[in-house]
Chains A and B, each alone.
Chain A
Amino acid sequence: MRIEDKLYTLRWKHDKQTHIKIVRGDVCFERCGGEWQRPCTTFCPANVYQWDGEKIAVSYENCVECTSCLLGCPYRNIDWKPPRGGFGIEWQNG
């Protein structure tokens, strides 16, 4: 089962504004590519972070709010806040 199909099982109430920001794009571009190879593109369970060759593209509407990226970004370069009250993932089973 592909990640796209897994995410297809989920329900969100989407906010128009993002709750995730990359603090400094140059850190992803210049520093994170070498030693760490941008681990957010692999450990995020909802595939929110993708490298487009120049920057990290953030699909915030996929976020399942696990908070892994707060700890997993080697440069603490992801500014993740919980979505506003009432928005974001709505688990059906938990």
Chain B
Amino acid sequence: MASGDEFDAIVVGAGPGGIAAALTMARAGLSVVIFERAERPGQKNVMGGVMYGRMLADVASETWRDAPIERVVVDERVWLTTPDAAVTLGHKHVPHEDPSEPPNAFTVLRVPFDAWFASQAEAAGALIVPGTLVEDVIMEQGRVAGVRTGRADGDLRAPLVVIADGANSFLVQRAGLSRPLEPQEMALVVKEIIALSPEAIEDRFNLEPGRGATIEVYGAVTRGMAGYGFVYTNTASLSVGIGALISHLMRTRITPWDLLEGFKTHPLIAPLLRGGEVREYLAHAIPEGGIRAMPRLYGDGVLVVGDAAMMVNNLHREGSNLAMAAGRMAGETAILAKRAGDWSARTLSTYRDLLEASFVLQDLRKYERLPEIAERRPELLSVYPAILSEAVHEMLRVDGVSKREKQRKILRRVLAQRPWWQLVKDAIEGWRAMR
């Protein structure tokens, strides 16, 4: 540690990744400062709304019980839509009642949640400096030596900078860890918070009080673009949103608000929202490039966590949990570095090793081919839901035609839309991307 440094570590950004890193370090006695550009932590932060208990409890330990969660997710649904129908899949469960175990998944609103999470880091001894934009990293002889903030006399040096400033991070580029991203490596998601009474939500989604449902909606609703819509239940509101790759929005010229309005008025979605009042309209970028678009995750004096490092598993709508796990591992790496008195890339490479040994990089590697397929072949997301929906519809229609004849009819219709060799090719490509 260079003499005279006031802090062991500077964390940029008070989201799940940055707070998890700061909390881990502060609890081990490291001195940590967090810079956050919002006036209060949470005010700049948005996500769809599902968070996971295990990674939160790993970081927050016993205090996870006080987290401001909305509803415990007990019903997860996937809808494959056409303009006026859907094939629906799902899983419901009765959650465990073991009070020592956090729930698997729950919905949150990020403004109150992040404010609470930041207060945990503060209670552990981290200093939070809000209302402060980090404009640049200070580079010295190829190593990151601190940050430049927008304040007067705003330079601060520390042996470690944890970059956790979110999607489309400026700082990873300034630190020489990444190239600029491409429009197919980021999605834009818009959502609304739609107020509804808890009773209406519980009736419409068939839920006990405090329990929640999620619906991911694929197919016609994204109008040929790669993406999906979602409906998540909060205590007294719904989070209703839809997103698509920026590259596809550029090409189709569909505005995000038209996309959202189309989703809300889909005949299967509209009844769920009826009578609800729009409280807030939000927009946010979601990293979609996967492991192939990741920046370097460490360097001399620097670690990168969360959205800034592309840590999103979009197929499983996971992100904040990856950020929390990575933040914890960044914190643990910093504790080792402090003990060794060495903040160079040699010691900090432990962070990468921890991530490699965990679900974070293992899951992202599993799906490394998906982003490229989503960009190149968005039609797969509308063609197959339509084929499936029409097939099921045909089999369920009782019109005097024999089931065997219906099967032949379905097969003829499928082959008219897609020759057999194309079906085989799609199946192989799909299998390779998901296995």
Task: Judge whether A6 and B281 touch: CB under 8 Å.
Answer: yes
Residue of B nearest to A76 (CB): B180
Chain A residues near B180 (CB-CB < 8 A): 70, 76
A13 CB within 8 Å of chain B: yes
Contact between chains at B255 and A42 (CB < 8 Å): yes
Given contacts A9-B279, A37-B253, contact A85 B186 (CB under 8 A): no
B182 contacts A71, CB within 8 Å? Answer: yes
Report B129 CB to chain A, min CB distance, Å.
9
CB pair B246–A68 under 8 Å, yes or no, is yes
- Closest A residue, CB atoms, query B261: A1
Is A93's beta carbon under 8 Å from chain B? yes
Of all chain A residues, which has the CB nearest B254? A42
* CA A67 to CA B308, docked complex, whole Å: 13
How distant is the Cα of A1 from the Cα of B260 in the complex, in angstroms? 10
Chain A residues closer than 8 Å to B253, beta-carbon distance: 37, 39, 42-43
Residues of A within 8 A of B170 (CB): 81-82
Most chain B CB atoms below 10 A, which of A2, A13, A70: A70
| Residues A46 and B193 in contact in the complex (CB < 8 Å), given A6-B278, A71-B182, A94-B45 | no
Contact status A71-B282, CB under 8 Å: no
- Given A67-B168, A85-B133, A90-B39: A43 touches B249 (CB 8 Å cut-off): yes
Binary CB contact string for chain B from 149 to 166 against chain A (1 if under 8 A, 0 otherwise): 111000000000000000
Q: What is the 8 Å Cβ interface bit string for chain B, positions 98-142, against chain A (1 contact, 0 not)?
A: 000000000001111110000000000000001111000000000
Cβ contact of B188, chosen from A13, A45, A74, cutoff 8 A? A45
CB–CB A45/B111 < 8 A: no
Tell me, yes or no, whether B224 is within 8 Å of chain A by CB: no
Q: Return chain B residues, CB-CB under 8 Å to A10.
A: 280-281
Q: How many residues of A contact B (CB 8 A)?
A: 40
Q: Tell me whether chain B's interface is mostly helix, strand or loop, or mixed.
A: mixed
Q: What are the residues of chain A within 8 A of B257 when measuring CB–CB?
A: 1-3, 6, 45, 47
Chain A 61-76, CB within 8 Å of chain B: the 1/0 string?
0001111101110101
Query: Which residues B356-388 have CB closer than 8 A to chain A?
Result: none
Chain B residues near A89: list those with CB within 8 A. 43-44
* CB-contact partner of A66 in B45, B255, B279, B285, under 8 A: B285
Are B278 and A1 interface neighbours, CB within 8 A? yes
Question: For the complex, is B190 an interface residue (Cβ under 8 Å from A)?
Answer: yes
Question: Is A91 within 8 A of B250, CB to CB?
Answer: no
Q: Is the CB of A90 within 8 A of B45?
A: no
A residues near B151, Cβ cutoff 8 Å: 85
CB distance from B356 to the nearest CB of A (A): 28
Cα–Cα distance between A92 and B109 once the two chains are bound (Å): 9
Q: Are the CB atoms of A90 and B38 closer together than 8 Å?
A: yes
Complex: how many Å from CA A82 to CA B43? 14
Name the B residues within 8 Å of A82 (CB-CB).
37, 133, 170
Chain B residue contacts of A46, Cβ below 8 A:
283
Knowing A45-B256, A94-B109, say if A85 contacts B250 (CB, 8 Å): no
> How far apart are the CA atoms of A92 and B43 in the complex, in Å?
7
- Please name the 3 residue pairs, one residue from A and one from B, whose CB atoms are nearest each other, closest first: A94-B110, A86-B131, A6-B281
A-B pairs with beta carbons under 8 Å apart, 22 shown = A1-B257, A3-B255, A9-B281, A10-B280, A43-B250, A64-B283, A68-B246, A70-B168, A72-B246, A74-B250, A83-B37, A85-B37, A85-B132, A85-B133, A85-B150, A85-B151, A90-B43, A91-B46, A92-B279, A94-B43, A94-B46, A94-B111
- Residues of A at the B interface (CB closer than 8 Å) are 1-3, 6-7, 9-10, 13, 36-37, 39, 42-47, 64-68, 70-72, 74, 76, 81-86, 88-94
* Supplied contacts A71-B181, A93-B279, A93-B280, 10 more A-B pairs, CB within 8 Å: A1-B278, A39-B250, A47-B255, A66-B283, A68-B186, A71-B185, A86-B131, A91-B43, A91-B45, A91-B280
